[in-house]
Structures are given as structure tokens and as C-alpha cells.
Amino acid sequence: MARIMTQLDILSKDAMGAGASSVNVVDHKGEIIAKAIESCLVDWGIQNLLTVTFDNATGNDARRISDWKGVIMENNFLHVKCNAHILNLIVKEGLSEQNKSISRVRNVVKYVLSSCARTTYFKAYVDKVKLDTRGLLSLDVEMRWNSIYLMLNTAVKFEKAFSRMYIDDHKYFKYFLDSCGKIEHPSSEDWRDVNVFLKFLEIFYQTTLKFSSTLHVTSNTFFHELFNLQSIIVNYSKCDDFLLTGMAKKMKGKFDKYWGDFDVMNMLLLLVAVVLDPRFKMKYVKFIFKNYYNFVERCSKSIKVTDTLTSLYNHYKKSIVGTSCETIGDQTDAVSEVSAMYTSDVWQSQWDKFLEKENNNIDNKPDLDKYLEDDVEKIKYFNILTWWKASFERYPVVSRIARDMLAIPTSIVASESVFSTSDRIFYCYRSSLSPKTAEALVCSQQWLRQHLHNVRLKIFYKKFKILK
């Protein structure tokens, strides 16, 4: 049975304490997933829904909930696709021709980790070749490229130990000799290739961590990472190293397929999130478009972003009753007229009245126009949520849009990993564990984590009391 994990951007205050949930589904068809999402929303009592973030399969469709009464913008932006999944497809496409080198390195790691005796014996060779490293070998999950990166990144540090073991250890040598060529030991060329594209993959690994972060806002940083990756892929596709050039060209094909067209992907909201970052605004979006698109394309894309933001503003303005900026102008006009009656200097009174009207014209502007016209913030250490909280009075409507746009998660990896423990517990060398033993391992791990968490809380409270 599969599980569906979704990150929901909820606009209902009652949903703040709803928590995460999982629903068993029989398959990954769009209709089944839509029913599961609807079931969760009904169970939580949620009506106001802006977006749902889940993977990018074309069959995934949430139209079942598009006719809800409390939907926002008629669910035009309902489906936000998991960008970490797309990045996974892009990187795996680039690695597809390097499977031989990766498989050979994976084989030696599997051999060492297959038993405690082999692991102990391998450590002796690490000491023998005098490797100064504290890292430990880790086996990857082949369906997740970032775990492949971590495995390779650790394994290359022990290249000398593997080579020495291949020369001195008869059993280790015989293991690869008896395979009749099916299992090959990594050659010096394999290690060289792994080292070359590890430097390339590290950029994508760091991007994956940023997409799946849970400790800070991700929606306003997505396009910075996106265009940075585009530049890197284009540059590597033109470099002298044929290995990196081949990888980059294959990646570029996948990149253009998933991220090349705004109409295919629901990325306009994520562009709006960039505009709602006061350090960048619409100026940054136009700057990026200018560097990547021709005149016609960048004008078209800029208009789409502006129209989307304007539509959101009009929708939110209708839903907000009695904003503070709507009554300021009338009050100040009345004050200026009264003060003019008791002014001895006629010219001075008229000048004051003129200034009052000018100020009123500024205050009566839509706060979206004021926000876009104001200078961008130049702050080194910046907390975007704190900034919008402090700017609520100046931009009452836009701040509500920002509150919801910045809550959009760009990835479901963080929630999905909570349930995807099977590949990390069971692999070919552990597949013989009995169900009772496997259950004991999982439950013990969870208990130890909770126990450690409770211990840390007790230490924190003790320190807090002392400080207090």
C-alpha cells in the first residue's frame, strides 16, 4: 500500500493546529489522490484552500476539490508540483550514462557493509594506508540521487583503502574474480570520473537541501536557485570536459521539459513570491528575464507575472472589509479644510492644502502600487516574515497575499521521508530479517529519538530556570 504525503497551504486559522496526516491509497492515479486529499481536508475541517504541493506526475489531478465553496482564485493555482522531484529526474538523467562507474563503486561499498567482520577488516586497511578521515561508508537508495551522491562522496575518500584491499585481500579479490565479469572492481578511471562529476553534483545536492528545507521560507528563493542551475547547466554543456558536457546536455533536455515553460508548470505563484520579497520585487524578475529571454519572451512573461499579482490583489481586496488605507484620505481632507479657515496667511494655507492633497494621493494609492514603487530593501541579515509583520499597516492587502504566498512549500521531500523508511531499513543484505525483528528496529529507533528529544527539553528547561 502506498501513502500520500501532501503539504497543504491552509488559509484557515482553525487549521493551524491540524497537523500532518497520511492516507492509504491503492495506487497513484489522480482521482484516487484527489479523493485522499479531499478526505484529509474534510477530516481537518478546512475549506479555504490555495495550493496543494505534491509530485509532478501528469496523472495527479486535484480537480475533485476545485468546486469547493472556500477555494481561492477558483483553484487556478491549486497544483504546485514538487520541485525536488523534478530536480531528481534532471540529475538522474545526467547520471544515466555513468551507471557503470556508479555501480562498480556501489559494489565495493556493498561488499564492505555486508557483514560486521568485513567492515572491521576494511577499517584495518584504512589504518594501514593512514587515511585521516572520520567518515563512514553509507549505502545508497538507488531511487534517490541525493543518497547516491552521499554514498559516492564518502566512498571516494577511501579509494586508497579499496585499492590496497584489492591487492592484499585474497577473499576480496576472489569475490570480483568469481563473478565472471558481472561484478567489476572500480578502476582508476572510474574513481576519476566519480571525482569529476561529484563536484558538479554537489551544486544540485545543495539545491535539493534548500528546496526541502523546513526551517525557513522556500517559495521566495525557488527562482534564485532555478536560474542559477540553468546558468550552471548551460556553462557545463560548453566546457572542455566531455564527461561533464554529456551530463549537462542530458540535464538541459529535462530542465527545458519541466521548467522551460511557465504554462506547463504552475510557477507563476512562485514568481509572485519572488516579487513579494522586498529585497527583489518586480525589478529583480525583469532583470532575470532580461538575461535569459529575448525581448518578446521577457515582455510576455513579465506581463503574466504582473497580471497574476494584480488578480491576487483584487481577490484579496474584495475579501478584506474596511482596510485602514480607505478612510485616511477623507479624514485628512476634512482636517486641512478646517485648518485653512483659521489661517491668516492665505498663500500659506493654500500651500498646506496642496501638500495635504499630495500626501492624500499617495496614501490613497493601492498598497500594491506603493509596495512596487518603494525602494528595495538592502539588509544583510533579513527575516522576510518579520519584515512583512512589521509592514502590515503600510501594505494591508499585500501583506495578506505575502502571508499565503510565503507559506507555499516547494517540495514534499521533508514529509515524504517520514514515511519512506523501508528502503533505508531493508536492502539485499537485510531482507532476511523477520517481521518482528524489523518492527523492533523501527520502534526502537523512534523511541530513542523521542527519548533524546525529551532529555534535551529537560536540559533546556533547567538552563532556562537558572537564567530566569
Rounded to a whole number of angstroms, the distance between the first and last alpha carbons of the chain is 51
**Tell me, what's the pLDDT at 428?**
53
**Tell me, what's the pLDDT at 356?**
60
Edge-to-edge order in the sheet of strand 79-81: 7-10, 49-54, 79-81
Q: Within 10 Å of residue 143's Cβ, how many Cβ atoms?
A: 11
Contact call for residues 269 and 294 (beta carbons, < 8 A): no
SS3 25: strand
Residue 207 has pLDDT above 50, yes or no: yes
Q: Where is average pLDDT lowest: 10-14, 142-146, 167-171?
A: 10-14
Q: Residue 16 — pLDDT band, cuts 50, 70, 90?
A: very low
Crossing angle for the helix pair 170-177 and 99-113, to the nearest 10 degrees: 140
Contact call for residues 223 and 270 (beta carbons, < 8 A): yes
Of residues 391 and 48, more confidently modeled: 391
C-alpha cell at 428: 539485499
- H helix or E strand, kind and range, residue 9: strand 7-10
**Tell me, what's the pLDDT at 346?**
56
SS3 54: strand
pLDDT tens digits, 419-431: 555 555 555 555 5
Determine the Cα–Cα distance for residues 349 and 343; give it in Å rounded to an integer.
Answer: 6
- pTM confidence score: 0.72
Backbone angles phi, psi at 152, to 5 degrees: -65, -40
pLDDT tens digits, 171-205: 888 888 766 656 788 999 999 989 988 988 899 99
Of residues 175 and 277, more confidently modeled: 277
Contact call for residues 151 and 109 (beta carbons, < 8 A): yes
Determine the Cα–Cα distance for residues 346 and 351; give it in Å rounded to an integer.
Answer: 9
Q: Where is average pLDDT lowest: 36-50, 141-155, 348-362?
A: 348-362
Contact call for residues 278 and 376 (beta carbons, < 8 A): yes
Residue 465 has pLDDT above 80, yes or no: no
Determine the Cα–Cα distance for residues 335 and 337; give it in Å rounded to an integer.
Answer: 6
Q: Where is average pLDDT lowest: 165-174, 272-281, 324-333?
A: 324-333
